[in-house]
Amino acid sequence: MRNIPPSVKKPSRYSGAEVRTPLLPWEEADTRVLLAFPDVYEIGMSHLGILLLYELVNARRKTLCERVFAPWRDMEEHLRATGSPLVSLESARPARDFDVLGFSLSYELTYTNVLAMLDLAGIPLLRTNRRESDPVILGGGVCTLNPAPVAEFFDALLVGDGEEAILEIVDRVEDRKRRSGNRDALLRDLSEIEGVYVPGVSAKVSRRVLPDLAMSPLIPSPILPAMRVVHDRLSIEISRGCTRGCRFCQAGYAYRPVRERDPLLLLRYLQEVAPKTGYDEVGLLSLSAADYGCIDRLITDAMETLSPEESPCPSLPFGWTRSGRTPCARSGRSGRPGSRSRRRQARRGSGGPSTRRWTTATSCARPSGFSPTGGRGSSSTSWWGSPGRRRTTCARSGNWSGRCPRSHAGTGGGTS
Ligand code: SF4
């Protein structure tokens, strides 16, 4: 796919020219996973789930994880006309050479793109037609709550949170390779993993739930995309699930129960990692971010830290000063002329410091130091929290330590 003809629009979708941490060489990896997003690059790179799994799998020993996105129609026509296969973004290896091809199913309209990608990769569409040499086709994401419509096309479907289950799946795949086991035996193995539904094998499946958001990493070196993506900012998941429990809302049910991330870990991440990523904005992700237990303290302290001179905007542009932007420590880039925060400044019509003051209350019982525990990541700095240690703090009390008085865990929210 690197041989991009001039007729293809937005070639940076396929170039792989991103700022990112180098990966394990292909030859040194025992297990190779390809994460596929069935939509174009700029949409897929705005999806936090695929980036989280990418980080987790690459942190596993002797494991390589790469990405592939759906080609736009012009590129698809080029691939079909030249007989070229669908290849990964990083190493440009054919998708069918990987051990696992995992699709993220975020919305049903991408189902046809999944089939197009399988077709371009030269992998049989129906699971019953697949050969021993074909990769395991895995599906995950919120759509798998109803796996039946796509069950004929996937070897296994992961229902629920993927952080733990993806590593268990890779363990089983690696075992199969070591023992030269067959495909049917592997699928039976996979069906024993909690949250994994194997069509034709599993009778039923229960949704996999990550018990504590501290077990999901904050990405230490996020990929800086090769082009402007839809959500062109550093995304940080502050909580999962929603306290509101609206009856009509799929997400409110799909992501139950409510789990909140340690605010001290978030603040430390914002202070130490965010300014080095090359992004000029950070987004605090949640189904309902305003319901995060200490959202006001988190935003206030983050603003004090990241933009002490100005920028009261809650979308948290950081590193911004009147003279320009702090250069990125990784890429050396100092900013793009058309960046969103710059445009926003211009729209406000001032370009200078805001007159609005953001203050920080100092009466909280903040612990003297941050102590995120080391996780299983290969990085020297681990951006994991401490499972079971909840410093979720209530906005009403203003206290950073102690348990949140709202008892979310296991309830799935539901105040309605
Ligand atoms: S408040 Fe929560 S449950 Fe209600 S619609 Fe929004 S995300 Fe869904």
Ligand 1, atom 4, lies closest to the CA of 246
Q: Please name the residue that has the structure tokens 């129960």.
A: 257
pLDDT at 118 over 90: yes
pLDDT at 379 over 80: no
Query: Could you tell me if 335 and 407 lie in one domain?
Result: yes
Ligand 1 proximity of 251 Cβ (cutoff 6 Å): yes
Query: Could you tell me if 116 and 166 lie in one domain?
Result: yes
At 71, the amino acid letter reads P
The number of domains in the chain is 2
Query: Could you tell me if 138 and 252 lie in one domain?
Result: no
Q: Please name the residue that has the structure tokens 């363990």.
A: 171
Query: Could you tell me if 228 and 184 lie in one domain?
Result: no
Give the separation between CA 182 and CA 195, rounded to whole angstroms: 22
Give the ligand 1 atom nearest the CA of 253: 3
Ligand 1 proximity of 361 Cβ (cutoff 6 Å): no
Query: Could you tell me if 179 and 86 lie in one domain?
Result: yes
Pick the most confident of 75-89, 273-287, 312-326.
75-89
Of 174, 197, 220, which closes a domain?
197
Q: Which segment of 15-29, 216-230, 283-297, 307-321 scores lowest on mean pLDDT?
A: 307-321
Ligand 1 proximity of 413 Cβ (cutoff 6 Å): no
Does residue 7 belong to any structural domain of this protein?
no
Angle, CA of 142, 11 and 108, to the nearest 5°: 20
Ordered DSSP codes for 144-209: GGS-GGGTTT-SEEE-B--HHHHHHHHHHHHHHHHHT--HHHHHHHHHTSTTEE-TTT-S----B-
Instruction: Compute the distance from residue 411 Cα to the ligand 1 centre, in Å.
Output: 15
Kindly state the average pLDDT of the residues 397-412: 41
Instruction: Compute the distance from residue 130 Cα to the ligand 1 centre, in Å.
Output: 40
With the most atoms of ligand 1 within 8 angstroms of its CB, the residue from 246, 255, 416 to mutate is 246
Q: Name the residue among 161, 209, 267, 212 with its Cα closest to residue 389.
A: 212
Give the separation between CA 133 and CA 57, rounded to whole angstroms: 22
Give the ligand 1 atom nearest the CA of 252: 3
Q: Name the residue among 287, 290, 277 with its Cα closest to residue 232.
A: 277
Percentage of the chain beyond pLDDT 70 is 73
pLDDT at position 381 is 41
Give the other-Cβ count within 10 Å of 296's Cβ.
14
221 vs 363 pLDDT, higher one: 221
Kindly state the average pLDDT of the residues 249-260: 93
Instruction: Compute the distance from residue 266 Cα to the ligand 1 centre, in Å.
Output: 23
Ligand 1 proximity of 244 Cβ (cutoff 6 Å): yes
Instruction: Compute the distance from residue 247 Cα to the ligand 1 centre, in Å.
Output: 9
H/E run at residue 282: strand 282-285
pLDDT at 78 over 60: yes
Instruction: Compute the distance from residue 394 Cα to the ligand 1 centre, in Å.
Output: 20
Does residue 2 belong to any structural domain of this protein?
no
Ligand 1 proximity of 249 Cβ (cutoff 6 Å): yes
Query: Could you tell me if 193 and 261 lie in one domain?
Result: no
Query: Could you tell me if 228 and 349 lie in one domain?
Result: yes
Query: Could you tell me if 80 and 191 lie in one domain?
Result: yes
Q: What is the pLDDT of the chain when averaged over all its residues?
A: 79
Phi, psi torsion values for 68, nearest 5 degrees: -145, 145
Instruction: Compute the distance from residue 252 Cα to the ligand 1 centre, in Å.
Output: 5
Query: Could you tell me if 285 and 384 lie in one domain?
Result: yes
Ligand 1 proximity of 344 Cβ (cutoff 6 Å): no
Which residues span the domain enclosing 18?
12-197
Ligand 1 proximity of 252 Cβ (cutoff 6 Å): yes
Percentage of the chain beyond pLDDT 90 is 59
pLDDT at position 384 is 55
Does residue 205 belong to any structural domain of this protein?
no
Q: Could you tell me if 31 and 138 are in contact, meaning their C-beta atoms sit under 8 angstroms apart?
A: no
pLDDT at 112 over 80: yes
- Enter the DSSP assignment of 83: T
pLDDT at 337 over 80: no
Does residue 90 belong to any structural domain of this protein?
yes
Instruction: Compute the distance from residue 186 Cα to the ligand 1 centre, in Å.
Output: 38
Q: Which segment of 123-127, 213-217, 410-414 scores lowest on mean pLDDT?
A: 410-414
Of 147, 169, 197, which closes a domain?
197
Instruction: Compute the distance from residue 413 Cα to the ligand 1 centre, in Å.
Output: 10
Kindly state the average pLDDT of the residues 75-88: 95
Does residue 4 belong to any structural domain of this protein?
no
Instruction: Compute the distance from residue 20 Cα to the ligand 1 centre, in Å.
Output: 34
Q: Could you tell me if 170 and 62 are in contact, meaning their C-beta atoms sit under 8 angstroms apart?
A: no
Ligand 1, atom 1, lies closest to the CA of 244
CATH number, domain containing residue 97:
3.40.50.280
Give the separation between CA 200 and CA 208, rounded to whole angstroms: 20
Query: Could you tell me if 288 and 170 lie in one domain?
Result: no
Q: Could you tell me if 202 and 373 are in contact, meaning their C-beta atoms sit under 8 angstroms apart?
A: no
Q: How confident is the model at residue 309 (pLDDT cuts 50, 70, 90)?
A: low
pLDDT at 405 over 80: no
Of 130, 165, 197, which closes a domain?
197
Q: How confident is the model at residue 101 (pLDDT cuts 50, 70, 90)?
A: very high
pLDDT at position 399 is 47
Q: Could you tell me if 296 and 283 are in contact, meaning their C-beta atoms sit under 8 angstroms apart?
A: no
Instruction: Compute the distance from residue 293 Cα to the ligand 1 centre, in Å.
Output: 16
pLDDT at position 385 is 52
Give the ligand 1 atom nearest the CA of 248: 5
Does residue 282 belong to any structural domain of this protein?
yes
Query: Could you tell me if 221 and 298 lie in one domain?
Result: yes
pLDDT at position 60 is 96
Give the separation between CA 411 and CA 416, rounded to whole angstroms: 12
pLDDT at 184 over 90: yes
Does residue 319 belong to any structural domain of this protein?
yes
pLDDT at 29 over 90: yes
Does residue 202 belong to any structural domain of this protein?
no
What sign for the dihedral angle of Cα 317, 321, 322, 323?
negative
Kindly state the average pLDDT of the residues 185-212: 95
What is the pTM assigned to this prediction? 0.78
Give the ligand 1 atom nearest the CA of 250: 8
- Please write the tens of the pLDDT for every residue from 364-376: 222 333 333 333 3
Query: Could you tell me if 193 and 215 lie in one domain?
Result: no
Ligand 1 proximity of 254 Cβ (cutoff 6 Å): no
Q: Which segment of 81-90, 146-155, 273-282, 324-333 scores lowest on mean pLDDT?
A: 324-333
pLDDT at position 58 is 96
Ligand 1 proximity of 130 Cβ (cutoff 6 Å): no
Q: Could you tell me if 94 and 86 are in contact, meaning their C-beta atoms sit under 8 angstroms apart?
A: yes
pLDDT at position 237 is 95
